[in-house]
Amino acid sequence: MSDLEPTFTIGIEEEYLLVDKETLDLCREPPSTIMDECREFCEGQVTPEFLRSQIEINTKPCRTIAEARSNLVTLRKAVIDVTERYNLAPIAASTHPFASWHEQKYTEKERYQILARDMQAIARRLLICGMHVHVGIDNDELRIDLMNQFVYFLPYLLALSCSSPFWGGEKTGLYSYRLTVFDAVQRTGIPERFVSFQEYERYVAILKKAGLIEDATKIWWDVRPSARFPTLEIRIADVCTLIDDAMCITALSICIMRMLFRLRKNNQRWRIYARMFINENRWRAMRYSSDEGLVDFGKGEIVPFAEASTELLDLLREDAEFFDCAREIHRMHYILENGTSAHRQLQTYNKAVEEGGKSSKEALCEVVEVLVTETKAGT
């Protein structure tokens, strides 16, 4: 067992949707020069996504939460400034409130062409965006061990990041509808438990030999060993509309990872529960966000999220001090009190309809306007 402290570097990926500032609908064919200008400003940290109406940013590997925040702000601002010249704006939300997936066009890139060919209608429905947090762990066996334990906390991160309550102009009744779309894709969801990195490599090798995947980047679990970097990539979160919320998810991710490493150093570990149990909380996070609590499987009962979050913060106190991110992880209390992006979207919609007498389409447009404003906040 290695006691060497991992690098615990931090990387953040965010995917945005590009909207026309006049119609507030998605821009299905943004000018190609947008990507060129973004790359020029951001040193290659901005890339196209599967659909042309999407754009992705990737921070550099960062040593501190403060550095990660600074880089994220720079990238968001660059995308905002560039797209504004074309009367467009990015929204950091995992679904657009009323855009139709039938009308979107995918990016002309070989990887995406293969994806569209292989998955057909499933791929065409992928009008969703997410946030990924990379945590640097430069030991193969340690990555697998921590991944096995980290899955317990995935529903917590989802519940705090929900930003996809609408789909195709309808209220879905869920706070994170995004995952219902993504779960139709093979090799998504909660990962299997692996006893070693070698077992994980055997799993990947079998899929490659059978011609099912070209490489491990085609494995899209909620948390996975990155195929490109020595990191664990946490992929469950909806993209956070507010930068402060995004940094809360980032800080929680790295603090939980270090807490699990501390347990390992003391010959302890977090209890590993069956996937079916984790999936119960995953569903509750999708459906209710933090409103109805999560199941404490040790107690065998549903615990209010505020109670569970207080216990989690107590566990992470030492790690928050180590990473100098107490403010960021305590943002959890603010989110619980004021709601996620999904809560605010629904409040905006309901107020416009019930108090403002607006039509459903008018109310949805107001939601998009709020998303544009909030995405820009803090940049």
pTM (two decimals): 0.95
Question: 10-376 is classed in which CATH architecture?
Answer: 2-Layer Sandwich (3.30)
Question: How much is the pLDDT for 113?
Answer: 72
In angstroms, the CA 44 to CA 42 distance is 6
pLDDT digits (tens, 9 = 90+) for 23-35: 999 988 888 898 8
Whether 82 has a pLDDT exceeding 80, the answer reads yes
Question: How much is the pLDDT for 2?
Answer: 53
Task: Please state the rounded mean pLDDT for residues 216-240.
Answer: 96
Whether 225 has a pLDDT exceeding 70, the answer reads yes
pLDDT digits (tens, 9 = 90+) for 120-160: 777 778 899 999 999 999 999 999 999 999 999 999 999 99
pLDDT digits (tens, 9 = 90+) for 303-339: 999 999 999 999 999 999 999 999 999 999 999 999 9
Tokens of 184: 């139709």
The pairs formed by 105-113 with CB atoms below 8 angstroms and a separation of 24 or more are: 105/28, 105/29, 105/51, 105/52, 105/53, 106/50, 106/51, 106/52, 107/48, 107/49, 107/50, 107/51, 107/52, 109/48, 112/50
55 Cβ contact list (under 8 Å, min separation 6) = 15, 16, 18, 34, 35, 38, 46, 47, 48, 49, 79, 90
DSSP character at residue 229: S
Rounded to 5 degrees, what are φ and ψ at 32? -65, -25
> Whose CA is closest to 30, among 51, 56, 1?
51
